[in-house]
Amino acid sequence: MTQPLHIDAVSAHYGTTKVLEDLSLSVQAGELVSLLGASGCGKTTTLRLIAGFLSPTSGSITLGGRDLTRLPTHKRDIGLVFQNYALFPHLSVLDNVAFGLKQRGIASAERRNRAMAMLERVGLAALADRAPGALSGGQKQRVALARALVIEPPLLMFDEPLSNLDAKLRVDMRVEIRQLQRANGTTSVYVTHDQEEAFSISDRVAIMNAGRLMQFDRPEELYRRPANTFVARFVGFENLIPFKAVARDGDIVTAESAGMRLRLSQSLFGAIPDSFLLATRPDGLTVSIEASAEGLPAQLGLRTYLGRAYQYQCETAAGHLVANGSLTTPLEAGTSVKLVPVPEQCTILAPGGDA
Amino acid sequence: MSDRPHPILVAIAALVYLFLMVPLVIVVGAALSDTTYLTFPPQGLSLRWFENIFAISAFRRTIVTSLQIAFLGTLFALLIGIPAAYALNRFRIELPKWLGTLFVLPILVPEIVFGFALLKSLTVGAGVPIFLALLVGHTLLVLPYVVRVISASLASFDFSIEEAAISLGSAPVKTFFTIVLPNVRAGVIAAFILAFITSLNDVSVSLFLTGPGISTLPIQILAHVEQFFDPTVASVSVLLMFLTVAVMAIVERTLGLTFLAK
């Protein structure tokens, strides 16, 4: 009962404001895909378009070959889990879970059995007769999950389902959601603004910004090889250093930036253009006090303690950079150092684009 | 800080209650008097003026008319007001702000002006029959209360609950009745009672719209006082009072009055 979802060239407007522009995205059968981005990036709009609460101005949405684009929500057969749980306050926990089955005309005895079985799976069978108001946040979200899963929908969608829970419970619940989703093999779309949550739970993540899809890939790829400067900054590549290639020798490209020369292997980075940005996280810049080191000359500024390292704000000819230094030798502000990029922790980006 | 309220505060509160209650006590007393004229304290005790209400056919007729108008007017106001309040809350962002104000307009316009306007437009202008004009007038009179009270109820309703039901396969109209309405039940009952009492006690609007043969109880009370000065008017006032108190008591018993203050 698992089906692929295809979003094809979908755009959406609120009045005259474009909130989604030409979005194309495919979710494979059984896959969990997260839509990740800051508020206003279009992720919730995308979810509401798939659910049918909004209509696209153009484009189409299909689920397992069924065209959803003009279908009203109640006929789409999609399980939804909301941020604020959205349980029916006037119905018991059991009746909440059985609600979708009732709409499908399933007889009351079977309805009860299936709802109870689902409540057992989320560990809440003992609370079946309670009112939703008497439950804790975590319990409410489990009921909401059971209510969405019991109808065995071909598509399950989550709208920031964990943001109202405390940190510890968030981690437990996301593991639980992932296990249930895997066990059922339900195609899922998961909306969140929390990068760690998205990366930990998803097969693939779609990073969105200002109504556009910035990159859609496996979490490992996004984390190591961001495709553009927006995604790079988003996943923590704080340092973007502009370079120019000055010499090419087979696989090796020699590049220069603000008094630093680097020899970069194209087998490691792929084809290197003449003008590019070298992106690193603070961990990808080694702080060296040896004057002979081949690196970017820098003046250290503010030092902060991260537990596993010291972090330095650095001023260089290439602009403001952030680097992590070893714990054994804390350095004072004003010290002249060299920042040496660690090639394995760097990636190469085309300049400009978006920011 | 002492637990007991300040004596001056107690005195003021007592005075307020006195001002509120004394006229009512006088009316009740006068209604029970055995005399043929209005007097307080009552001289002799008798229920004959209560019997007299039902002996006078004008009172019998107007009590029935008042209850009919109040019930039907409230019903129509609910039929218009509930969907209106729903739309105003559900599409608050999409709808222009003045639309909500529009529904409160009948409260903002002085009732006497409102009544006169209805007379000019309905009775004189369009030649609408008296009962129908009264019904329309009262529906419009109580509509703002209905919209306000139900809006207050809907303001705390989370519309994602409605979306959840629709996503689970419940058609939108069905969802309104099975999910939205049960969750604003208290607001609907409160609106009904507030509207019913407002209509039952209205003078200003009815004054313009009543006519030959058809009148409401408060207007009949006024007319009676102009001609007679017997305690019937006091006893009918007591009757109206008890009708109102009875409705409130039922609410208090079933729901508690606190939600009216919300």
Task: Assess A140–B contact: CB distance below 8 Å, yes or no.
Answer: no
- What pLDDT score does A91 carry? 95
Identify the sign of the CA torsion B197, B200, B203, B207.
positive
Task: Assess B171–A contact: CB distance below 8 Å, yes or no.
Answer: yes
Task: Assess A191–B contact: CB distance below 8 Å, yes or no.
Answer: no
Share of chain A above pLDDT 90, in %: 81
* Two tokens, residue B24: 């009512």
Q: Do A100 and B169 touch (CB under 8 A)?
A: yes
Same domain, B131 and B145: yes
Task: Assess B181–A contact: CB distance below 8 Å, yes or no.
Answer: no
Residues of A in contact with B167 (CB under 8 A): 51, 73-74, 76, 78-80
- What pLDDT score does B257 carry? 56
Tell me which chain B residue has its CA closest to the CA of residue A147. Answer: B168
- Cβ atoms of residues A239 and A281 within 8 Å: yes
Residues of B in contact with A87 (CB under 8 A): 161, 164
* Two tokens, residue B74: 């409230």
Structural domain containing residue B10: 1-46
Is the pLDDT at A246 greater than 80, yes or no?
A: yes
Interface test with A, best of B94, B157, B161, B168 (most A CBs within 10 A): B168
Same domain, B3 and B89: no
Tell me which chain A residue has its CA closest to the CA of residue B169. Answer: A74
Report how far residue A119's alpha carbon sits from residue A106's, in angstroms, rounded to the nearest whole number: 17
* Facing residue for B160 by CB, picked from A82, A90, A103: A82
Q: Do A74 and B170 touch (CB under 8 A)?
A: yes
| Bridge partner list, A26 | A6
Same domain, B29 and B61: no
- Cβ atoms of residues A139 and A124 within 8 Å: yes
Q: Give the type of residue at A228.
A: N
- Cβ atoms of residues A94 and A132 within 8 Å: no
Same domain, B97 and B226: yes
| pTM for this model (two decimals) | 0.82
* Two tokens, residue A38: 């800051």
Tell me which chain B residue has its CA closest to the CA of residue A105. Answer: B169
Tens digit of pLDDT at every position of chain B (262 positions): 567 888 999 999 999 999 999 988 888 888 888 888 877 787 888 888 888 888 888 888 888 999 999 999 999 999 999 999 999 999 887 788 888 888 888 888 888 888 898 888 888 888 888 899 999 999 999 999 999 999 999 988 999 999 999 999 999 999 999 999 999 988 898 899 889 999 988 988 898 888 888 888 889 888 888 888 788 888 888 888 888 888 878 777 766 655 554 4
Residues of B in contact with A154 (CB under 8 A): none
| A38-81 confidence digits (pLDDT tens) | 988 999 999 999 999 999 999 999 999 899 999 999 999 999 99
Q: Do A100 and B171 touch (CB under 8 A)?
A: no
Interface test with A, best of B167, B175, B178 (most A CBs within 10 A): B167
The CATH number given to whatever domain includes residue B54 is 1.10.3720.10
Same domain, B167 and B93: yes
Q: Between these two residues, B44 and A254, which has the higher pLDDT value? A: A254
- What pLDDT score does B45 carry? 82
Report how far residue A98's alpha carbon sits from residue A118's, in angstroms, rounded to the nearest whole number: 10
| Bridge partner list, B214 | B211
Q: In chain B, how many domains are there?
A: 2
- Cβ atoms of residues A339 and A298 within 8 Å: yes
Interface test with B, best of A14, A50, A74, A118 (most B CBs within 10 A): A74
Same domain, B33 and B86: no
How many CA atoms lie within 13 Å of B4's alpha carbon, on the beta-carbon side?
5
Task: Spell out a b/e string for A44-58, using b for 16 or more CB atoms within 10 Å of the CB, else e.
Answer: bbbbbbbbbbbebee
Share of chain A above pLDDT 70, in %: 99
HEC string of chain B equals: CCCCCCHHHHHHHHHHHHHHHHHHHHHHHHHCECCCCCCCCCCCECCHHHHHHHHCHHHHHHHHHHHHHHHHHHHHHHHHHHHHHHHHHHCCCCCCCHHHHHHHHHHHCCHHHHHHHHHHHHHHHCCCCHHHHHHHHHHHHHHHHHHHHHHHHHHCCCHHHHHHHHHCCCCHHHHHHHHHHHHCHHHHHHHHHHHHHHHHHCCHHHHHHCECCECCHHHHHHHHHHHCCCCHHHHHHHHHHHHHHHHHHHHHHHCCHHHHHC
Can you list the pairs that A104-113 forms with residues at least 24 positions away whose Cβ atoms lie under 8 Å? A104/A151, A104/B169
Residue of A143, A138, A141 whose CA lies nearest to A92: A143
Same domain, B6 and B94: no
Q: Between these two residues, A181 and B33, which has the higher pLDDT value? A: A181
Q: Do B163 and A82 touch (CB under 8 A)?
A: yes
Strand order across the beta sheet in which A212-217 lies? A78-81, A155-159, A187-192, A32-36, A204-209, A212-217
Same domain, B30 and B54: no
Report how far residue A278's alpha carbon sits from residue A72's, in angstroms, rounded to the nearest whole number: 48
What ipTM was reported for this prediction?
0.85
Residues of B in contact with A75 (CB under 8 A): 169
Residue of B100, B254, B249, B86 whose CA lies nearest to B186: B254
Is the pLDDT at A14 greater than 90, yes or no?
A: no
How close A223 comes to chain B (CA, Å)? 34
Q: Do B168 and A99 touch (CB under 8 A)?
A: yes
Residues of A in contact with B164 (CB under 8 A): 80, 82, 86-88, 144, 147
In the structure, what pLDDT confidence band is assigned to residue A355 with cuts at 50, 70 and 90? Answer: very low
Interface test with B, best of A54, A77, A92, A103 (most B CBs within 10 A): A103
Number of CB pairs, chain A paired with chain B, less than 8 A apart = 60
Residues of B in contact with A99 (CB under 8 A): 165, 168, 170
* Tokens 């220069």, located at residue: A256
- What pLDDT score does A277 carry? 93
Same domain, B145 and B251: yes
Report how far residue A284's alpha carbon sits from residue A312's, in angstroms, rounded to the nearest whole number: 13
Report how far residue A327's alpha carbon sits from residue A325's, in angstroms, rounded to the nearest whole number: 7
Same domain, B38 and B163: no
- What pLDDT score does A79 carry? 94
Report how far residue A287's alpha carbon sits from residue A290's, in angstroms, rounded to the nearest whole number: 9
HEC string of chain A equals: CCCCEEEEEEEEEECCEEEEEEEEEEECCCCEEEEECCCCCCHHHHHHHHHCCCCCCEEEEEECCEECCCCCHHHCCEEEECCCCCCCCCCCHHHHHHHHHHHCCCCHHHHHHHHHHHHHHCCCHHHCCCCHHHCCHHHHHHHHHHHHHCCCCCEEEEECCCCCCCHHHHHHHHHHHHHHHHHHCCEEEEEECCHHHHHHHCCEEEEEECCEEEEEECHHHHHHCCCCHHHHHHCCCCEEEEEEEEEEECCEEEEEECCEEEEEEHHHHCCCCCEEEEEECHHHEEEECCCCCCCEEEEEEEEEECCCCEEEEEEECCEEEEEEECCCCCCCCCCEEEEEECHHHEEEECCCCCC
Report how far residue B232's alpha carbon sits from residue B230's, in angstroms, rounded to the nearest whole number: 6
Chain B neighbours among A 284-343 (CB < 8 Å)?
Answer: none
Same domain, B108 and B233: yes
Identify the sign of the CA torsion B109, B112, B113, B118.
positive
- Cβ atoms of residues B161 and B175 within 8 Å: no
Interface test with B, best of A82, A96, A97, A140 (most B CBs within 10 A): A82
Residues of A in contact with B158 (CB under 8 A): 84, 86
Angle at A301 between CA A295 and CA A304, to 5 degrees: 105
Strands A204-209, A32-36: parallel, antiparallel or unpaired by DSSP?
Answer: parallel
- Cβ atoms of residues B170 and B187 within 8 Å: no
Q: Do B163 and A79 touch (CB under 8 A)?
A: no
Same domain, B86 and B173: yes
